[in-house]
Amino acid sequence: MTRRMTALARPTTGLTRIARIGRRVADVLAECDYAQRRIFTLMTTPDSYLTNGDRAPDSYSEFLFRTSSSLLHEPTAAARANRRPAA
């Protein structure tokens, strides 16, 4: 009686292991890149340095100053379904 090998029972080759490790390394690097960009955005936003940042701006020029840094964009509905972080 011969036994057919399914995808689950197939032995892992060296190339498959290398590809899996490569994907994990790429995921770690992508996460580090996202964290670095997020920290830079938070550190350069003018609102983080205001003593009363929860108050509305007093003038239009102050509003423009507060929104001069990069803004956090909300992901699309499809990306939210995949639990992708806002970028």
Residue corresponding to tokens 């498959």: 16
Task: Using pLDDT thresholds of 50, 70 and 90, give the confidence band for residue 64.
Answer: confident
Position 54 scores a pLDDT of 74
Can you say how many angstroms the Cα of residue 76 is from the centroid of all Cα atoms in its chain? 13
Position 41 scores a pLDDT of 81
List the chain domain ranges.
Answer: 14-49+57-81
Residue corresponding to tokens 């590809």: 19
Position 32 scores a pLDDT of 94
**Which amino acid appears at position 41 of this protein?**
T
Position 22 scores a pLDDT of 94
Q: Is the pLDDT of residue 65 over 60?
A: yes
State the alpha helices, DSSP H only, in 1-87.
14-44, 60-66, 77-81
Do the beta carbons of residue 75 and residue 84 sit within 8 Å? yes
